[in-house]
Amino acid sequence: MLGMIKDMLKLKKQADRLLPPEQRGLRGAMRGAREGAAQATQMLSDLADAAALRANGRPGTATITAIRETGLTINENPVIDLDLQVTVGGSPPYALTHRQTISRLHLGNFQPGATVAVHVDPADPAVVVVG
């Protein structure tokens, strides 16, 4: 029993060393909570913007010409960069790189050569939402 407690203390010390200094202790925990809240607020804002763009944006299509992982994940889903050839209405197609979180379950739908639905911001054609 005593050996198990020693092992648990040893593991806790190892875990503490893995944390960056700015995240250790009570102040670090509070800082982490503030940063997490700020990230959550930004994500909600992004979702609201995407919903508004889906409702009010100009519908179009885009052909995926390339896909790159950024190394970032949100809730275990990769954030990817998509190189797109966007077509809206009768306008000529234009190239655009778009960053979006894609569910791992849907990654197969986002491959070079695939055509996806997009909604384009009427005020700024560089702002799109895929899907």
- Predicted TM-score (pTM) above 0.75: no
The per-residue pLDDT for 45 is 67
Q: Is 88 helix (H, G, I), strand (E, B) or coil?
A: strand
Bridge partners, 117 (sequence order): 61
The per-residue pLDDT for 113 is 96
pLDDT in tens, 94-128: 999 999 888 889 988 899 999 999 999 999 999 99
Q: Does 16 have pLDDT greater than 80?
A: no
Q: Does 5 have pLDDT greater than 90?
A: no
pLDDT in tens, 33-71: 777 777 767 666 677 777 888 888 899 999 999 999 999
CA distance 50 to 5: 50
Q: Does 1 have pLDDT greater than 70?
A: no
Q: Which two tokens stand for residue 112?
A: 């070079």
Main-chain dihedrals φ then ψ at residue 14, nearest 5 degrees: -65, -40
* Three-state secondary structure readout of 6-68: HHHHHHHHHHHHHCCHHHCHHHHHHHHHHHHHHHHHHHHHHHHHHHHHHHHCEEEEEEEEEEE
27: confidence class by pLDDT, cuts 50, 70, 90: confident
18: confidence class by pLDDT, cuts 50, 70, 90: confident
